Amino acid sequence: MLTNPNSDRVRSVRGLAQRPVRRRTGRFLVEGPQGVREAVRYAADRVVDIYLTPEAAARYAADIVDPARAAGLWLHEATPEVLAAMADTDAPQGVLAVVETHHGSLVEVLTARPSLLVFLTHVRDPGNAGTVIRGADAAGADAVLVSSSSVDIHAPKVVRSTAGSLFHLPIVTGLDVEATLTTLAAHGIRTLAADGAGTTLLPDADLTTAHCWVMGNEAWGLPQGIRARCDDVVRVPIRGKAESLNLAMAATVCLYASAGVVRFS
Amino acid sequence: MLTNPNSDRVRSVRGLAQRPVRRRTGRFLVEGPQGVREAVRYAADRVVDIYLTPEAAARYAADIVDPARAAGLWLHEATPEVLAAMADTDAPQGVLAVVETHHGSLVEVLTARPSLLVFLTHVRDPGNAGTVIRGADAAGADAVLVSSSSVDIHAPKVVRSTAGSLFHLPIVTGLDVEATLTTLAAHGIRTLAADGAGTTLLPDADLTTAHCWVMGNEAWGLPQGIRARCDDVVRVPIRGKAESLNLAMAATVCLYASAGVVRFS
């Protein structure tokens, strides 16, 4: 049982909240039962350590402890104080894991002949990035692409917002925007810029062939140069007096329109 | 020019971040240019005071200062330190307003023969509540209904998340869930519980007549008793490995599905 919240081990886990430490160690923090359970289920080979309070170990025996043991993973019991000292959030619900970072490859994604992708070109808000990853998973997207100028998807707040979806579909990071648009075009994937400046309304967009939603920055959208490089610029219709949807909502509506769920007539 | 961040005025504005103070004074805080601009545009008769830094006054002359002057509103210049001391957020972008709270009435909403409503029955997260209000506005809903057990929609974080939509459509608060469901039924408005336990998939839901989306709690959804009271229980299809969408995204997808088929007049 780990009892010392000031130990070197605790400090090294806690350090993973910082990007330079993640980069140096190639590891990140997964907090809370949902994320840890999905990590064990879908990325067991990357799980380095799991920390639980005795209470959490009992509560999540079937969900986390048993499958983790079956996969030969390291489980450590720790006091609530130790968990709190390790965590970035106030309430990790008694469980967290250290997991090796993973960056999918664009080549692999394209080789699988995807029909639905989303590309975050300059998304800075961790909650938005995580929520788009969760929405992409739910809508059945094949992968999420992330530019080098976007937020680090292994930051604690992004990981929490994905609610485990980080382990469900390939996520390719560190991409150059222009080069990626060129590559997508070369593979016959239509690029649809989602932007309030679009002239094509979402109900009129051609979503029948393989395509990639291109999302810009929360505040200023997509630069004109990027919009011009896309095959179409599509606007989610706004019916009331709202100026716009937030980025995660717009992305989710677009992805669900692609999935055929949001039908417009 | 207000220069003293410790003045009584500053303290009384700052106090509006607290619910008991809002309840006692009937006023709340609107932070940032977007919210203040929409308050001036759509609820000028409820705007008590506007505070701006000289820089913000210059930047938002056309958007805020001129229309506020034309409406005869009180504008106060203040130092950035005073603005920071008044605000709940770290960065109110140099402008905030004190506005009288307003609680729409269900009778008024129903008299206008609404075709699309959303009812938050036990939503506790401020960001979720604000985002649903913004999504309802964007999808062209006629009003948002909020139960007494939900978060206070005049809390600073809710207000910020609405991005001004708080002033765009009627919001009825303090509702009893069971009584409201009965009233909606009596007015011929179908109630659709949005819940992962639903057997009707969203694409198959009947969205052709007036209806109200009923949203439950973030963590545990809708109680069985409430689901049973609704005309249908509808599930947003989940195609990937995700367990669910977050509440704001699910509500937005449902509302946009409704917007595709319901006629608005």
DSSP letter for each residue of B33-85: HHHHHHHHHH-GGGEEEEEE-HHHHHHTIIIIIHHHHHTT--EEEB-HHHHHH
Nearest chain A residue to B264 by CA: give it: A239
One domain, residues A131 and A225: yes
Q: Is residue A216 part of a domain?
A: yes
What does the pLDDT read at residue A262?
Answer: 63
Given pLDDT bands bounded at 50, 70 and 90, which one contains residue B24?
Answer: very high
Average the pLDDT over A122-126 and give the result. 94
One domain, residues A110 and A70: no
User: Of A70, A100, A130, which marks where a domain is finished?
Assistant: A100
Average the pLDDT over B75-86 and give the result. 95
Task: Read off the CATH number of the domain in which A111 is found.
Answer: 3.40.1280.10
One domain, residues A18 and A127: no
Q: Would you call A96 helix, strand, or coil by DSSP?
A: strand
One domain, residues B215 and B233: yes
One domain, residues B87 and B113: no
Q: Is residue A136 part of a domain?
A: yes
Give the percent of chain A with pLDDT over 90. 88
User: Of B53, B74, B100, which marks where a domain is finished?
Assistant: B100
Average the pLDDT over A144-163 and give the result. 96
Question: In whole numbers, what is the pLDDT of chain A averaged over residues?
Answer: 94
Give the domain extent around A60.
Answer: 8-100
Does residue A239 or residue A144 have the better pLDDT? A144
One domain, residues B114 and B195: yes
One domain, residues A241 and A213: yes
Average the pLDDT over B87-113 and give the result. 92
What does the pLDDT read at residue A264?
Answer: 54
Given pLDDT bands bounded at 50, 70 and 90, which one contains residue B262?
Answer: very low
Q: Is residue B232 part of a domain?
A: yes
Q: Is residue A264 part of a domain?
A: no
Counting the structural domains of chain B, the total is: 2
- Strand boundaries in A26-170, DSSP class E: 27-31, 47-52, 75-77, 95-100, 116-120, 143-147
Given pLDDT bands bounded at 50, 70 and 90, which one contains residue A88?
Answer: confident
Query: CB distance B253–A253 less than 8 Å?
Result: yes
pTM of the entire structure? 0.91
| C-alpha distances in Å from residue B147, one per residue of B70, B172, B204 | 37, 8, 28
pLDDT of B160 over the 50 cut: yes
One domain, residues B175 and B131: yes
| Closest residue to A168, CB basis, from B163, B237, B241 | B241
What does the pLDDT read at residue B263?
Answer: 31
Is residue B232 within 8 angstroms of chain A, CB to CB? Answer: no
Is residue A239 within 8 angstroms of chain B, CB to CB? Answer: yes
Q: Is residue B3 part of a domain?
A: no
Q: Is residue A265 part of a domain?
A: no
Query: CB distance B165–A240 less than 8 Å?
Result: yes
**Encoded tokens for A18:** 């910082």
What does the pLDDT read at residue B261?
Answer: 37
- Digit-coded pLDDT (tens) for A157-192: 999 999 999 999 999 999 999 999 999 999 999 999
Q: Is residue A263 part of a domain?
A: no
What does the pLDDT read at residue A210?
Answer: 95
One domain, residues B32 and B72: yes
Average the pLDDT over A26-54 and give the result. 97
Average the pLDDT over A26-53 and give the result. 97
Given pLDDT bands bounded at 50, 70 and 90, which one contains residue B135?
Answer: very high
One domain, residues A184 and A244: yes
What does the pLDDT read at residue A222?
Answer: 94
Is residue B240 within 8 angstroms of chain A, CB to CB? Answer: yes
Is residue A252 within 8 angstroms of chain B, CB to CB? Answer: yes
Q: Is residue A152 part of a domain?
A: yes
One domain, residues A112 and A73: no
Query: CB distance B249–A244 less than 8 Å?
Result: no
Q: Would you call A56 helix, strand, or coil by DSSP?
A: helix
Task: Read off the CATH number of the domain in which A78 is found.
Answer: 3.30.1330.30
User: Of B52, B82, B100, which marks where a domain is finished?
Assistant: B100
One domain, residues B96 and B140: no
Round to whole Å and give the CA distance between A50 and A76: 6
